[in-house]
Structure formats: structure tokens, C-alpha cells
Amino acid sequence: MLELNRMHPLAEKDHRFLWHPFTQMKQWMEEEPVIIESGHEAILVDVNGKEYLDANSSIWTNLHGHGHPTITHAIKDQLDKVAHSSFLGLSNLPAIELAEKLSVLTGLPRVFYSDDGSTAMEVALKMALQYWQHCGQAWRTKFVAFTEAYHGDTIGTMSVGGIKLFHDAYRSLTFEVLRASTAEDLQRLLQAHAGNVVGVCIEPLIQGAAGMKLWPAGMLAEVRRQCTEHNVLLIADEVLTGFGRTGTMFACEQENVVPDLLALAKGLTGGYLPLAATLASEQIFNAFLGEYHEFKTFFHGHSYTGNQLGCAAALANLRVFEEEKVLVKLQTKIGWMREHLKKLAPLTTRQCGFIAAIELGDFALEKQMGVKVCRALRERGVLTRPIGNVVVIMPPYCITEGQLARVFDGLAEAVRAVVG
């Protein structure tokens, strides 16, 4: 019996050598982890051969499923040519092609690459600050950000972030920002401080890490209007919302907004490789042009900036959108999700495109209700992660009707088993 209950040897090594993100490792080391070995479409398979539906798209990154042949082959083809060459002083094919595509899709002409959502936003913050220096307004140093915002885990992005649980421990490292909760707050802040403000950061349509909180309709357009009125930059963080997640290619499209700076990451490569992009307006880019000795250069870059494998994956991701009419088919699936959510009544639920959030109730965080529900869901073959008392369901777009039904039936059971 003891033999049978022994952990997988890799689980023991995981417990011995690893430190997982956003994880209380004491708790982690008390239970056997799921160790993923392979994946296909919306399914992940662990080292014991057990299959799970990937109901949070591998933390909001995967779009067309695992092992998609178009993306897989694009990465392999690129690997046969070259995996990586520096973007400092050199350029490369897929990075150029991808920049053109992103620029056409977003209406923003300049693409600066980095590696993940945090760095894409960090780049946006630094560009925005330096932009005003080049405009002869170096006194502008204040950023406006929203309550419960999440823009990443680096020092700069934590500064604009507003989630107490994640950010309070590191507050001594961060810079002060002007904090708004509503459009009225923003108006007041900008009326008082606009002359010292660099820009306003917002997650368009939905604040992800805050617990999938929806902005009121028109909020984004109103923020754009105020930024223009007060002549400050609008920095849109579409790390989560980009690439179809809210039902349109970009969330900004839904309120006809073009930001001054735009951060993209998670879905950029379809969830295959870490790559991010910060897109900038021509006006911002032009402000950095000058003679060498003026040192107007944007002093930022990473070892893997413009990585060919990542860019090849991202190009293939965009090709899948076109070839498989992904956005058209997604509208039907958004409808399925809406129907399934109705069945979870009387629980409070929210939906934005292909993102669903289910409120379990007002439990103390220590109770780990969300964690327990997700664990019960995992036993039913469905993987996702909670945000406190909120369970998030945001599957890859390739999920079938039957699979989506299994996700929501499993969730209803898990909630009954844990919450009652």
C-alpha cells in the first residue's frame, strides 16, 4: 500500500529543488504536485497519464490550444534557421515581419520587444517618462493608476499596481503614484495635477488580477477623452485582454480607443513562448529622435529582445487567427459560456468575452475557498486557479462545446462539494 502511495520521483525532486511563483511553499510541499508532461488542444496530460482540461489557458496565455501544428511547425522551422541573435545592432526576419503585423492591427506604428507582460509595461513607463523629458517637461514624473490595478511584478509595474496583498511587502521599493478608482476620481486628479502627470495606466475593459472586475461601459473611452483633454499619455495594458480574449482582437477596439502606449504579452505567441511588445505612437517615437550626442536614446533592452523563436511563434499565432477565422468562431463560444454561467445561479458571475469569473462568496482569504474549489475541480479533470474567492474560467479558444460543458458541470459539482 505504501508503495502505491509513494509520490512520483519527480514530485520529490520538485519539493526539494523548486520555488514556485505566488506559492506558499510550505503548503505546496505538503501535497503531490500535478506535473505536466504533454498537451494537445485544450488538454494537458500529467506524468501519470491523467488528462485535464486547461480551463485557464495556462495562466491566460494559450489561445488556440496546445500543440497547434501551425505554431509548432513555425517554431521548429525557425529553430532550423537560428534560435536567437541579438537585437542590439542587428535585426532579424520574424521580428520585422511581426512588427509590421502588430502595427497594422493596433494602429500604433512602433514596436519595442521585450520578454513578458511586466517588462512590456516597465518599458511603457520608462518611454512615457522620458518622452516628457524630450518634450522639455522633465517635471512630469507622476503616473496615474487605478485601485486594484495589476501591471506586473517588477518594481515599476508594482508601483502602478494597486493590489495590497501582492504589493504591500515591497512598497518601500516602489514610487508613489496618483490613485484613481473611477472616471470622476481621474477627472479630479487630472484637474489638480495634469501638469505633473506623465500618463494614465489602465487595463482596458477588465482588471484581471483584481478578480476579473469589469469597468463600466464607456470607461476606457472616457479615460482616453480625459487623457487627450489634459494632454497626458494613455498607457493601455492589454497583456491579458489582447488577441481576442474579450471577443475583439484588442479590447481597445470595443470603445474605439487608440492608446499612446500599448503593452502586449501573454497571448502574443499563442501561449507558446515568452515574448512581449510595447507599441508606441509616432509622436512618442519621434520625440526620441536626435543627434547621437543629445543622448535621447531609449536606454533599455534585454538579452532576448526580438527573439526569433518567439517572433516566429507570434507570426504563426496571427496566421491561425486568419486561417481558422478564430474571432468569428469565438463569438459562438462566448455565447456557450454565457449559457453555462446562467446555470451557476444563484452565484454571482461575470463575463467579458471568453473570460468568466465566478464569485464563491464573502469568505476570509485564510479559508482558501477558491483554492479548495479549484482543487475539487482538478479532481474532476479541470485545471484553473482562483483569485481569492473568485474562480476564473478562460479556456483556449479551441475548446469544444462538450469540453466547455465538462468545465462548467465540474465547477458546479466542485462548488457544491466545497461551499455547499
- Give the footprint of ligand PLP on this chain (CB under 6 A): 116-118, 121, 150-152, 203, 208-209, 237, 239-240, 265-266
The nearer residue to ligand PLP, 117 or 271, going by C-beta atoms, is: 117
Q: Are strands 382-383 and 276-280 parallel, antiparallel or unpaired?
A: unpaired
Nearer to ligand PLP, 238 or 340 (CB): 238
Minimum Å gap between C-beta 213 and ligand PLP is 12
Nearer to ligand PLP, 111 or 262 (CB): 262
Residue with cell 455565447: 335
Rank residues 94 and 156 by Cβ distance to ligand PLP and give the closer one.
156
- Least distance to ligand PLP, CB of residue 211, Å: 12
Which residue, 152 or 410, has its beta carbon nearer to ligand PLP?
A: 152
By C-beta, is 119 or 130 nearer to ligand PLP? Answer: 119
> In the bound complex, what is the minimum distance in angstroms from residue 280's beta carbon to ligand PLP?
17
Contacts of 75 (CB under 8 A, 6+ apart): 272, 273, 309, 312, 313, 316
Least separation, in Å, of the C-beta of 420 and ligand PLP?
31
How, if at all, do strands 110-114 and 276-280 pair? Answer: antiparallel
As a whole number of angstroms, the distance between CA 181 and CA 219 comes to 11
Output the residue with the shortest Cβ distance to ligand PLP. Answer: 117
Contact present, 42 and 383 (Cβ < 8 Å): no
**Least distance in angstroms from the C-beta of 269 to ligand PLP:** 11
> Which of 325, 324, 243 is closest to 276 using CA atoms?
243
Residue with cell 500604433: 108
Residue 44 has φ and ψ, to the nearest 5°, of -115, 145
Closest CA to 355 of 223, 253, 267: 267
User: What would the grid cell of residue 240 be?
Assistant: 491579458
d(CA 248, CA 235): 19
Residue-level length of the chain: 420
How far from 305 is each of 72, 84, 91, 115, 302, CA to CA, in Å?
A: 21, 9, 10, 7, 5
Quote the least distance from Cβ 181 to ligand PLP, whole Å.
Answer: 17
Q: How is 152-199 classified by DSSP, letter by letter? A: -SSHHHHHH---HHHHGGGGGGSPP-EEESSHHHHHHHHHHHGGGEEE
In the complex with ligand PLP, the residue whose CB is nearer, 222 or 237, is: 237
Q: How far is the CB of 109 from ligand PLP (least distance, A)?
A: 23
